[in-house]
């Protein structure tokens, strides 16, 4: 996880966090344009995330739910201010799966990711604050298609689509068959899975999580392994370790068709 030392003016931070940030070393760990993420090097570490107003509400709720299941970070504070949301969590021990130590052993890494994904999908989702993630998922696909949002560069070659029309046609075939049947992470990528010397520590960035279709997490696991390892050689090992009997290959292509629309 990237950490760039910065000087963070307290004037732009809610007063509630001033005592935490006072005289602490602060690092920028942001990886998107929309959200700013700051690592606060105090005690065992904290993460302070800021994003446009209303955008972190679901993430705060899902993070609390994952923590309750011993799967993620502890939420210390969520503030919905006039122009920004703020979310403060404790640091999850260890490092994410983009650490060279893990990337240098891709066979073990691919199995580790699959095993912990299968465990996630077997956990009870009773009481999950997002009871049917697939409703908003389908709505997002259709809305972004209408608005012309189409990223053809996202996919491995074997899932590529030649046009937005081809992708939406495939998405519309598969979307009715998506099931909200397991607890999903929603963005199951290497930077969002924390290990402590190969031992699972927790998941981070669970704002897209909820009760949804397992193939969404499987797709992103495949995509992230290929992206970070620069090869698709470990796709089958990952799927086999998860359990091929639970996987419908056409549904994976259906997820790819949906995700091209963000």
Encoding tokens for residue 253? 């292509």
Contact by Cβ (8 Å): 85, 55: yes
* CA pair distance 134, 137, nearest whole angstrom: 5
How many helices (H) and strands (E) are present in the chain, helices listed first?
9, 11
Give the 3-state DSSP-derived string for 106-174, with helices as H, strands as E and coil as C.
Answer: HHHHHHHHHHHHHHHHCCCCCCCCCCCHHHHHHHHHHHHHHCCCCCCCCCCHHHCCCCHHHHHHHHHHH
223 vs 171: CA distance, rounded Å? 17
Non-local CB neighbours of 227 within 8 Å, separated by 6+ positions: none
Q: Is 187 a catalytic residue?
A: yes
Marked catalytic residue, from 96, 104, 151, 187: 187
Q: Give bridge partners of residue 96 from the DSSP assignment.
A: 194
C-alpha distances in angstroms, 80 versus 13, 86, 91?
13, 7, 21
- Specify which residues 26 forms β-bridges with: 6, 40
Among residues 169, 181, 205, 166, the alpha carbon closest in space to that of 73 is found at: 205
How far does Cα 176 stand from its chain's mean position?
Answer: 23
Give 250's DSSP letter: H
Q: Which residues are catalytic?
A: 187
């Amino acid at each position: 996880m990237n950490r760039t030392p910065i000087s963070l003016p307290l004037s732009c931070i809610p007063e509630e966090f001033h005592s935490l940030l006072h005289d602490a070393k602060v690092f920028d760990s942001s990886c998107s344009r929309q959200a700013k993420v700051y690592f606060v090097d105090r005690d065992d570490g904290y993460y302070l995330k800021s994003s446009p107003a209303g955008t972190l509400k679901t993430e705060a709720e899902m993070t609390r739910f994952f923590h309750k299941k011993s799967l993620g970070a502890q939420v210390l504070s969520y503030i919905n201010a006039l122009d920004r949301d703020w979310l403060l969590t404790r640091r999850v021990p260890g490092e994410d799966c983009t650490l060279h130590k893990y990337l240098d052993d891709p066979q073990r890494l691919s199995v580790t990711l699959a095993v912990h994904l299968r465990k996630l999908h077997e956990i009870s989702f009773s009481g999950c604050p997002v009871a049917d993630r697939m409703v908003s998922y389908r709505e997002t696909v259709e809305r972004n298609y209408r608005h012309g949002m189409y990223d053809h560069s996202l996919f491995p070659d074997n899932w590529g689509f030649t046009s937005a029309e081809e992708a939406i046609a495939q998405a519309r075939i598969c979307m009715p068959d998506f099931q909200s049947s397991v607890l999903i992470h929603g963005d199951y990528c290497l930077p969002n899975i924390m290990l402590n010397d190969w031992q699972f520590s927790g998941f981070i960035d669970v704002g897209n999580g909820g009760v949804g279709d397992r193939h969404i997490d499987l797709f992103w696991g495949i995509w992230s392994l290929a992206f970070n390892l620069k090869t698709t050689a470990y796709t089958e090992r990952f799927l086999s370790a998860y359990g091929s009997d639970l996987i419908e290959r056409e549904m994976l292509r259906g997820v790819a068709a949906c995700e091209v629309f963000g």
